[in-house]
Amino acid sequence: MDAGQIKSMVEEFKQVITASSTRKKERAERTHTEDFDAEEKEFLEEENEQEEEVFDQVRFPLFATFCFCWFIFFHPT
C-alpha cells in the first residue's frame, strides 16, 4: 500500500467513527424522553455494544497491521 491509499482509508475510517459518535449521541438523547423505559434502555445498550464489537473486529487488526503508517495520519506533526 502506498501513502495515498492509507490516507484514503484513514479518512474513511474517521468518517465512520464520526457517524458512530453521532448515532451514540442520538441514542443517549433518547434516554431523556418521557416515554423512555427499561426495555428501551436495554435495547440501546445492546445497540451500543454491537457497534463497539464491529469496531473492535475491524479496528484492532487494522491498527496492528498498519499502526505506524496510520499513526501519522491521525496525529499529524
Cα–Cα distances in angstroms (integers) from residue 53 to residues 3, 18, 37, 49, 57, in the given order: 28, 16, 25, 6, 6
How high is the pLDDT of residue 47?
94
What is the separation of C-alpha 65 from the centre of its chain, rounded to a whole number of angstroms? 18
How high is the pLDDT of residue 8?
87
Query: Which backbone phi and psi does 73 adopt, to 5 degrees?
Result: -85, -30
Q: Give residue-wise pLDDT tens across range 28-68.
A: 998 888 888 989 999 999 999 999 998 888 877 777 776 65
Query: Which backbone phi and psi does 12 adopt, to 5 degrees?
Result: -65, -40
Sequence-ordered list of residues with C-beta below 8 angstroms from that of 66, at least 6 positions apart, any chain: 1, 6
How high is the pLDDT of residue 23?
92
pTM of the model: 0.67
